[in-house]
Structure 1
Amino acid sequence: MELRQLHYFVKVAKKEHVTQAAEELHVAQSAVSRQIHQLEEELGVKLFVQKGRNLQLTPVGQLFLKRVEVILADLERSVIEIHEFLDPEKGEIRLGFPHSLGISLIPQVVAAFRKQHPNVKFRFKQGMYPTLIRDMIKGDIDLAFISPFPDEHEFVCGEVLLTEELYAILPPGHRFSEEESIKLRELEDETFVLFSEGYSLRPIVWEACQEAGFTPKIGFEGEETDTIRGLVAAGMGVSLLPEMALHYTGPLQPAKVRVTEPQVTRTIGLIRRTNEKLPLVAKVFHAFLLRYFQERIQESQ
């Protein structure tokens, strides 16, 4: 069994199509088909069955895929660890984060870190809360920013880095747009622009409205902070967003107003796999982040 066969197998399993897998692998379709056939012969089982124009994993193929992904992830980490051992300053950090942190926070911390470690590379992966947890458990990423921070989890652990306030954002000219603060209950009759199901900010806003005594009327849903902010600025409704998602200087801007009763916040944490050592370069970045946010908290006090 060759490593190349395993890589080809995983690619075909993901694409469910030999031609598409071959295109991404930059090899001939016949080469991929041959390697898959040889792998099946060596194992003595069928890994795929034809379903229309696509290929579908058999039950044993699904089991084999899970094992192969673990093997390849371990191998990739081993190669990274060897490179880091030879020169930690030339390692790679695999970092996950939600989209709302990619606007300003991630660029800031990465830029600050690279001033001290200019040769370190980053591989980024954005995702929703459940996706980041899944990718962490699978070993696809070494560290991940996540919000809200999971209180208890069998497979991941970490630290809360900061707690961030959410503000009401309102269309320009809204009757509350010039107020310093409002009670959330005052938005009861408004149409809300919320994140789609699966995004961590949605339940935070929903639960805050419930605490304020009403259920928000949802007019529009989006998947990015830019979309939410833009829809509100265009007069399509109101919403709540964290402050760092409001760092935008375009021509169309919503009004930003502090919310009281209740004050709405979210936790931002940093997670890693439980009972597993971080790669050396990721360990250095982890220590840097803890110092960075501790200093940030001290400066704000």
Structure 2
Amino acid sequence: MELRQLVYFDAVVRHGGFTRAAEQLRVAQPAVSAQIRRLEAELGVPVLERTTRRVRLTRAGELVLARARRAFGELDGVRDDLAALAAELRGRVRIGSIQATGPFDLPGALAAFQRRFPEVELSLRSGRLSQLVADLDAELIDLAIGPLPADLPARVSGLPLFTDELVLITAPDHPLAGRGPLPMEALREEIFACLPAGSGLRRLLDQVCAAAGFAARVRYETNIVPQVRELVSHGLGVALLARSVAEAPGRPVAVHPVLPAPIDRPVGLLHLRDRALGPAAQRCHAFLAAWPPARDAG
């Protein structure tokens, strides 16, 4: 089996036929047909069903194509590695991030990027979304990881990375602790702990409480997200937090999904649309967008 056979096979599938595949590959159509026939002869099974109007993958063809495309991906990775080695990618990438990055392992991603591109200087700072956008505008950072609200400024490009559910938390001995999912109305008389006014989390809390017909009484404010959880664990109030923070190691809290429907917060990779990223920042953006790397389940 030759790589050319797999490339021609992939082209036929992507372009819906032998003629268009040949045009894209800039070879004669009989050459494409010949390579597919050789591939099928070597495999001993047909990979395409041919009709007068179209081609369609057989079940064997589906399996072969999936493996072939994984192989193409590995080859692309080899080319990238060699290109990076040859060019010795240099420069700096300044990243800003919210504190709670949920299931996205940002330290692991940055460490992997640094191992692959040791000549690139990375830096990281944390902040709320409003601060991250201001830092992008001021050219203090190149990339940011933050929430993707509906009113994200149009000048900011946001690529989704993950979604974190927002949940209510109470102290383990709170009267509501054993009730499981809760409507916001159940917390009408409660004292809240939260980030300060102006933060995305505070805005979400105010919105969901207003929708439930009351204003949240926030008596405990902190800029440190895990500290919100600590305040609740000591019985000083209740809070709305990302599930990843609520379920993090520490003093116990009771976690309550919000009724009648989960509150999901999408988080993404941000940069300014009208500002070109340098080579190192471009590579870092692509690396983070693809993190964690795909693994072959087989």
Q: TM-score range by the shorter chain?
A: 0.5 to 0.7
User: Residue 260 of structure 1: CA displacement?
Assistant: 1.5
User: Residue 101 of structure 1: CA displacement?
Assistant: 3.1
Q: Is the 8 A contact 2:148 2:158 kept in 1?
A: no
User: Residue 149 of structure 1: CA displacement?
Assistant: 4.0
Whole-Å Cα distance in 2 between the matches of residues 119 and 164 of structure 1?
33
User: Residue 169 of structure 1: CA displacement?
Assistant: 0.9
Change (3 A) 1:257 1:102: closer
Change (3 A) 1:150 1:186: closer
Q: What amino acid maps onto 1:248 in structure 2?
A: A
User: Residue 262 of structure 1: CA displacement?
Assistant: 4.5
User: Residue 237 of structure 1: CA displacement?
Assistant: 0.6
Structure 2 match to 1:133:
133
Runs of 5+ consecutive residues of structure 1 not aligned to the other structure: 1-83
Structure 2 match to 1:95:
95
Whole-Å Cα distance in 1 between the matches of residues 212 and 293 of structure 2?
32
Structure 2 match to 1:193:
193
Q: Is the 8 A contact 2:269 2:289 kept in 1?
A: no
Where does 1:202-241 land on structure 2 (aligned, <5 Å)? 202-241=202-241
Q: What amino acid maps onto 2:288 in structure 1?
A: L
Whole-Å Cα distance in 2 between the matches of residues 86 and 119 of structure 1?
10
Q: What amino acid maps onto 2:186 in structure 1?
A: E
Deviates most, 137-146 or 215-224: 215-224
User: Residue 245 of structure 1: CA displacement?
Assistant: 1.9
Q: Judging by fraction of residues, say which structure has more helix.
A: 1
Whole-Å Cα distance in 2 between the matches of residues 86 and 126 of structure 1?
31
Change (3 A) 1:102 1:131: farther
Change (3 A) 1:112 1:206: farther
Structure 1 match to 2:267:
268
TM-score (norm 2): 0.63
TM-score (norm 1): 0.62
Deviates most, 269-278 or 135-144: 269-278
Structure 2 match to 1:161:
161
User: Residue 294 of structure 1: CA displacement?
Assistant: 9.7
Change (3 A) 1:192 1:273: same
Query: Secondary structure of 2:192's match?
Result: strand
Where does 1:271-282 land on structure 2 (aligned, <5 Å)? 271-282=270-281
Q: What amino acid maps onto 2:142 in structure 1?
A: D
Structure 1 match to 2:146:
146
Q: Is the 8 A contact 1:192 1:217 kept in 2?
A: yes
User: Residue 242 of structure 1: CA displacement?
Assistant: 0.3
Task: Note the alpha carbon deviations across 1:66-124, whole angstroms, 9 max, x for none.
Answer: xxxxxxxxxxxxxxxxxx99521x43211011223399742233234345445543111
User: Residue 127 of structure 1: CA displacement?
Assistant: 1.8
User: Residue 144 of structure 1: CA displacement?
Assistant: 0.5
Structure 2 match to 1:248:
248
Larger radius of gyration: 2
Q: What amino acid maps onto 1:87 in structure 2?
A: E
Structure 1 match to 2:122:
122
Where does 1:35-184 land on structure 2 (aligned, <5 Å)? 87-88=88-89, 90-101=90-101, 105-114=105-114, 116-149=116-149, 151=151, 153-184=153-184
Whole-Å Cα distance in 2 between the matches of residues 280 and 286 of structure 1?
10
Q: How many residues align?
A: 213
Whole-Å Cα distance in 2 between the matches of residues 223 and 189 of structure 1?
24
Change (3 A) 1:102 1:95: farther
User: Residue 142 of structure 1: CA displacement?
Assistant: 0.8
Whole-Å Cα distance in 2 between the matches of residues 185 and 295 of structure 1?
42
Q: What amino acid maps onto 1:241 in structure 2?
A: L
Q: Is the 8 A contact 2:169 2:246 kept in 1?
A: no
Identity value in percent: 28
Q: Report whether the alignment pairs 1:258 with 2:257.
A: yes
User: Residue 257 of structure 1: CA displacement?
Assistant: 1.7
Runs of 5+ consecutive residues of structure 2 not aligned to the other structure: 1-84
Q: Is the 8 A contact 1:104 1:244 kept in 2?
A: no
Whole-Å Cα distance in 2 between the matches of residues 115 and 247 of structure 1?
30
Q: What amino acid maps onto 1:279 in structure 2?
A: G
Change (3 A) 1:102 1:135: farther
Change (3 A) 1:144 1:150: farther
